[in-house]
């Protein structure tokens, strides 16, 4: 499903303002404090934005994605921008084709909510990460409130059938602890999304778009407040969710 969904929308993800936000990318690089001698791995690279931002600071980057068309789009985007130290590998985040202790830094940005088994993903990160290496995860996170968490994952699944689940911060930290990863830095921010561009990237039809919009319009007051759903003249104009960036050390 991921390959089907993202193969046909690869170009829109390369052009996405949310994914390509330079200020956000710069902040993530600062969180990592990269070294020129590092070898890095960016998992589920999407449009390649984080791999491209990190590449000038390290010796070599590997960018992986399970969708060949998406990876090809990322390669085209980064090559055009002058990135010459990035290799591209089609790979499943839960079955990485690399030896253990291969990377000084592993990153994954706004993708893990598509992974069927987050524990298997983190176990793979731990396996390929060198002792003392750094792991940066960035993803949308669900509220700790169960009702609002379910609401978020329902409308995300309605929009994109390849969506699996946004985890809560407490769930992620539990998985890290199980794998012996220590959280050394974390930042949580509120991000506002314009409904139409967000929906357009995945809309199969006008009926599909309307169904997702109607679900948001029928939110309870608690859900409307939690996700800052803004309605104007009976249409959803924008909403907000939380994004969590965390750096762990192995």
In a domain, 49, yes or no: yes
Asked if residue 21 lies in contact with residue 47, where contact means CB atoms within 8 angstroms, the answer is: no
In a domain, 218, yes or no: no
**Three-point CA angle 124, 65, 55, nearest 5°:** 90
In a domain, 235, yes or no: no
Condensed to tens digits (0 to 9), the pLDDT of residues 102-137 reads 999 999 999 999 999 999 999 999 999 999 999 999
CA distances from 103 to 6, 118, 132 (A): 27, 20, 10
In a domain, 148, yes or no: no
- The single-letter DSSP state of residue 73 is H
Confidence tier at 14 by pLDDT (50, 70, 90): low
The domain in which residue 26 lies consists of 2-143+162-193+241-249
> For the chain, how many structural domains are there in total?
1
- Inform me whether the pLDDT recorded for 11 exceeds 60: no
Please give the pLDDT value at position 3. Answer: 52
Look up residue 247 and give its two tokens: 């750096």
Condensed to tens digits (0 to 9), the pLDDT of residues 191-207 reads 999 999 999 888 889 99
In a domain, 9, yes or no: yes
Helical H segments across 86-205, by residue range: 118-128, 146-159, 169-178, 195-200
Please give the pLDDT value at position 202. Answer: 86
CA distances from 8 to 17, 26, 51, 179, 204 (A): 18, 28, 21, 35, 11
Whole-number average pLDDT of the chain = 92
In a domain, 185, yes or no: yes
Q: Which helix (H) or strand (E) holds 49?
A: helix 49-54
Q: Determine the Cα–Cα distance for residues 129 and 180; give it in Å rounded to an integer.
A: 12
In a domain, 82, yes or no: yes
- Here the CATH number for the domain that contains residue 81 is 3.40.50.150
Condensed to tens digits (0 to 9), the pLDDT of residues 20-34 reads 567 889 999 999 999
In a domain, 217, yes or no: no
Q: Is the dihedral of CA 20, 23, 29, 31 positive or negative?
A: negative
Of the candidates 12, 113, 140, the one whose C-alpha atom is nearest the C-alpha of residue 69 is 12
Phi/psi for 113 (5° steps) reads -70, -5
Of the candidates 18, 50, 10, 13, the one whose C-alpha atom is nearest the C-alpha of residue 34 is 50
């Amino acid at each position: 499903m991921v390959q089907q969904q993202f193969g046909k929308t690869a170009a829109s993800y390369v052009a996405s303002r949310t994914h390509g936000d330079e200020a956000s990318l710069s902040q993530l690089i600062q969180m990592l404090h990269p070294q020129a001698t590092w070898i890095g791995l960016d998992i589920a690279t999407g449009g390649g934005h984080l791999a491209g931002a990190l590449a000038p600071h390290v010796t070599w980057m590997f960018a992986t994605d399970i969708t060949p068309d998406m990876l090809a789009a990322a390669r085209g985007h980064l090559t055009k921008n002058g990135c010459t130290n990035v290799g591209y590998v089609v790979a499943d985040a839960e079955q990485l084709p690399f030896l253990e202790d291969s990377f000084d830094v592993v990153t994954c940005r706004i993708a893990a909510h598509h992974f069927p088994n987050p524990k298997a993903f983190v176990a793979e990160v731990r396996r390929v990460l060198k002792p003392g290496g750094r792991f940066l995860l960035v993803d949308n996170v669900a509220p700790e409130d169960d009702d609002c968490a379910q609401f978020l994952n329902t409308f995300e699944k309605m929009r994109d059938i390849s969506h699996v689940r946004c985890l809560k911060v407490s769930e992620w930290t539990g998985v890290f602890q199980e794998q012996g990863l220590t959280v050394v830095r974390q930042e949580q921010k509120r991000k506002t999304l314009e409904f139409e561009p967000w929906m357009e990237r995945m809309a199969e039809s006008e009926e599909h778009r309307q169904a997702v919009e109607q679900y948001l319009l029928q939110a309870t007051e608690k859900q409307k407040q939690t996700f800052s759903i803004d309605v104007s003249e009976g249409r959803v104009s924008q909403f907000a969710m939380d994004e969590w960036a965390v750096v762990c050390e192995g």
